[in-house]
Structures are given as structure tokens and as C-alpha cells.
Amino acid sequence: MSVTPENPAELSRRTVLRRAAAAGLLATPAAGLLSACVAGGDDEPTEQAAGEKSADNPLGVKEDAPLEVVIFNGGLGTKYATDVHIPSYKKKFPKAEVKFSQTEEVATVLQPRFTSNTPPDMVNNAGSKLMDQGALVQAGQVQDLTELFDAPSLHDPNTKVKDTLIPGTVEQGTFNGKPYVLNYAFTVFGLWYDAALFEKNGWTAPKTWAEFTALCDKIKAAGITPYSYAGANASYYQYLVILTSAAKIGGPDVLKNIDNLEDGAWQAEPVKQAAAAWAEIGAKYGNKAHLGLKHTEVQLQQNQGKVAFYPSGSWLENEQAKDTPPGFKYAVMPTPSVTAADKLPQTAIYAAAGEMYFVASKGKNPRGGMEYLRHMLSKDGARGFTELTKVLTVVKGAVDGMEISPGLTSGNQMLSAAGSDYFAYRFDTWYKKLDDECRAATNELMFNGGTADKFCERMQKAADAVKKDSSIEKFKR
């Protein structure tokens, strides 16, 4: 969640994380992007498949209508689609042909098809070259999912789909009051480390900022880089951590104000305090050589015992599975409290539904696309996903009784300790320009001697520009 580099081992951030970076329909400015989206004209496809609605077929899927599914091939892989969700759909509709494809560059492959109004039916929009989700919604290319969320759940026909989901799931994919996106992977974010390395050295996960810097000093003395991330493509991992600290200092409204483009939101004191604290970590405990590295390169260094703390989401363990040596034990901790007067406890975390899936409104089979999502949201569909990816979904109770991996166990424990004190932001999926700018500003802050004041001024200027740009639709929460 999440999310992202151009690498088969990469997961959208998701989203959570996410996050709608990349070449939003190839990084064109918003106005040009929208015209590109609809350049094929506003005509609907000549025919959209529809069948009879019934208790057994609440979305009215045409039983023999072909369905096309495109999945991002990243940190989650694609086996969850080919081995779990597609077989589930086929069992329900055996006469339907399901065409499956995968890509590492969603925008590159799919932009021409959305431009010509010949899109696939269901898309996993993720990766460093994902499409600008807000612009797609603005262009009328995305199906309203209200009918899906109001439909009976596949595993419990007496309960609506929306009532089987973790609170906040539907809202996370809502744009100005309507749900357009299913954020499926429930991702927890924090500072990841090797619990075995910490046990060996007698190091304890810190809770206060003083404990954090003191431990970083010990780690540095041991010849290990205390803290790092990949500047080439994973800077949103780091700005997420900065904004997590800001929310803990000043409360979650700090992020709500940023999302809503409120005047001065980026220059609020909690944001400055958080930026200043993390700038010091970058200056004293980071590795400037990592500015040019990709996420998997720095993550590999952590697997090799060369990096202690790494900011990321709960997809990390699965993403690194092939490079994780025996004995390495993934664990995660919340960001330490920056001040003694933080409004939220140290256990508070950034956690959110992420990894975007949507149905194309101008596809040939949007009802089939929504039905496919209903299968993803069944308990069997969610459990199979978690078994293959080591990542939770938004389906409540789907992993009850499952034996899970060290990293997923640690993430669950962190989420449990947080209780109701978890939060998220939305600006990254709403406004690609801000996501891009925040990545660049974060690298300047952490690697190039930037200051908190410069970071906040730069981001406020970018937010003000988006706010004044009438070609960009604005969203509120």
C-alpha cells in the first residue's frame, strides 16, 4: 500500500499507501491529462454487458460476458489474482472468459486504451507509473461503486459488502461523496528492523525521540547505517513518516487540513517540528549514497545487516522474501514521539486501506468488474490474498486463526496497540503534483541539507498552486 518503483518486486503505495505518484497518465499537467483521458470522445462503448439481477446475482452480471482484468506486477505479485480471485469468479460464472494480463507500467500500457474508450474492465492502479486516479475520476472514466458496496457479501448474503469491511475503507476510495476506488490492502506503516539483530545487540525499539537518537548513535558506532530509505524512487516512504510525526504532534487534523488545501496547512507548527526532527536524522544517521538508489537496493542492504531502520509499509516482508536470509526476523515499530506534548500517543500509526482497484465505467463489462471486486472482498478471497502476499486486506476477520509470518505478526501487534489511534492522508492520490513535489522536497530535506522552513515553504507554494488551478478538481474530507 503503497506506493513506487519500476520493479517487479514493487508494490504501489499504497497506498496505502500508497499513493498516486508517477506518470499520472504520464505526468502531463492536469488539464492536458484530462483532455488525454477523454480524447477518444464521450461515447459509451457500443454495448455494455448486463444480465438479470437476482439474489444469486445481485449486480446483474451477464453470465457469459468476457471480463478483462489488469493487475500491477509489483511487491504483491499477481498469484493472488491468477490463483485465488479469477478462479473464484470463474466458479461463479463458468461460461465467462476472463482475460488476465499484468504490467509493471500501468499508465504506459493503459493510457492509450482509456484515451480511446476501450479500457479493460478492472484495473489494479499501482506502481511508479500508475495513472492519476483523481484525474480519471474527474474525466468520468471510473465506475461509481455504490452498488457494489450495497450488494450482499459473497460469504454472508445477509450482510452488505460495506458492512464486512474495516471502518474507513469505503471513505478511503471516495471522491466528493461517491466511492470510486476499492483500496484493498490494509497497510500499516512504520519503521522496520531486524528483530534478530536487535536481540543480538541488546537493542530495544525506542519510544521517545531521545531514545531514538541514542540508539542511532549506538547503531552508528557498530558500523551500521542507523536509518535510510531509497531516494531514487521511494521518497514517499519518508514523507509519509514525516507527516505521521506531524499528525502525532498536532493531531490528525494536521493531515486533514493538508488534504483540504487549507491556507497555511503545510506551514503549521507540527509539520515544521516533524520536518526539523527528521532532517536531523537524515543529516546525522543517513547515508547520502542512498539518494540515487532504488527501494529494493536499500532494502537488500537492510537484509544484509547494513541498515537498521527502514521506513515502509507492511508489504515489505513479501517484497523482500527472495532476498531475506535465514534468521532475519522482520519487525515494525511506530515512529517515536517527537515531543513530550504530542497530542497522539507514541503507539499511534499511519494505517490505511491502500492498493487501488477500480472498474472502468466505459469498459465492456463494468458489472463483471464490480462482481470481481465482490469476490476479492469475500473472506476466502481475502484470506487467499493474505496467504500469498503476507499483507492484510480490508475484510474483517479474514485472517482469524491463520498462522502468519513474523513481519505480519509484528504489524498486527502494532495495529492492535494503536487501537483507534490510526490515521491517513489523501492528497497524494487526489493531487499528483503535490505527491511529486513532496517526494522532491523530502529528498532535499533528508539528503541535501534542506531545512524544515524550506520544506514547508516549498510544499505550501505547491499546494497554493494546486488550489488556484481551476483545471484541477478539488476534493474534500
Q: For domain 189-349+429-468, give the fold.
A: D-Maltodextrin-Binding Protein; domain 2 (3.40.190)
Torsion, CA 386, CA 391, CA 392, CA 393, rounded to 10: -80
Q: How many residues does the chain have?
A: 477
Given a contact cutoff of 8 angstroms between Cβ atoms, the answer to whether 373 and 122 are in contact is yes
Q: What are phi and psi of 379, to 5 degrees?
A: -65, -40
pLDDT of residue 172: 87
Q: What are the mean pLDDT values of the chain's consecutive 10-residue runs (477 residues total)?
A: 33 34 30 38 65 95 98 91 98 98 96 95 91 93 98 96 93 92 94 98 98 98 98 93 98 98 98 98 98 96 98 92 95 98 98 92 98 98 94 90 88 91 92 94 97 98 98 92
CA distance linking residue 285 with residue 262, whole number of Å: 33
Q: Exposed (0-12), middle (13-18) or buried (19+): which is 152, by Cβ within 10 Å?
A: middle
The domain segmentation of the chain, as residue ranges, is 30-187+351-410+423-428, 189-349+429-468
- CA dihedral (239, 241, 243, 249) positive or negative: negative
Distances (CA, A) of 303 to 285, 340, 386, 475: 18, 33, 22, 40
Instruction: Give SS3 for 387.
Output: helix
Distances (CA, A) of 123 to 8, 182, 394, 459: 17, 10, 18, 31
Spatial separation of the C-alpha atoms in residues 373 and 386, rounded to whole Å: 16
Domain 30-187+351-410+423-428 matches domain 189-349+429-468 at the CATH topology level: yes
Up-side HSE of residue 456: CA atoms within 13 Å toward CB?
21
Return d(Cα 246, Cα 125) in angstroms, integer. 28
Strand ranges inside 174-329, DSSP E: 174-175, 178-179, 182-194, 225-227, 307-313
Q: Which region, left, alpha or beta, applies to residue 401 given φ > 0 means left and ψ of -120 to 50 means alpha?
A: left
Residue 309 DSSP SS3: strand
Q: Which residues, at least 6 apart from 436, have a Cβ–Cβ distance to it below 8 Å? A: 21, 27
Are 332 and 412 a contacting pair, CB within 8 Å? no
Q: Cell 529494493, residue?
A: 296
Count of other CB atoms within 10 angstroms of residue 448:
11
pLDDT of 76 reads 87
d(CA 389, CA 408): 10
CB neighbours (10 Å) of residue 174? Answer: 17
Helix axes 432-447, 235-250, angle to 10 degrees: 90
| Closest to 50 in 3D by CA, of 367, 375, 358, 361 | 367
Cα–Cα distance, 30 to 53 (Å, whole number): 38
Beta strands 178-179; 330-333: pairing state: unpaired
pTM for this prediction: 0.78
Residue of 157, 145, 155, 164 whose CA lies nearest to 55:
157
Q: Give the Cα separation of 15 and 19 in Å (integer).
A: 4
Q: Are strands 182-194 and 392-393 parallel, antiparallel or unpaired?
A: antiparallel
Q: Does domain 30-187+351-410+423-428 have CATH number 3.40.640.10?
A: no
Amino acid in the structure at residue 108? T
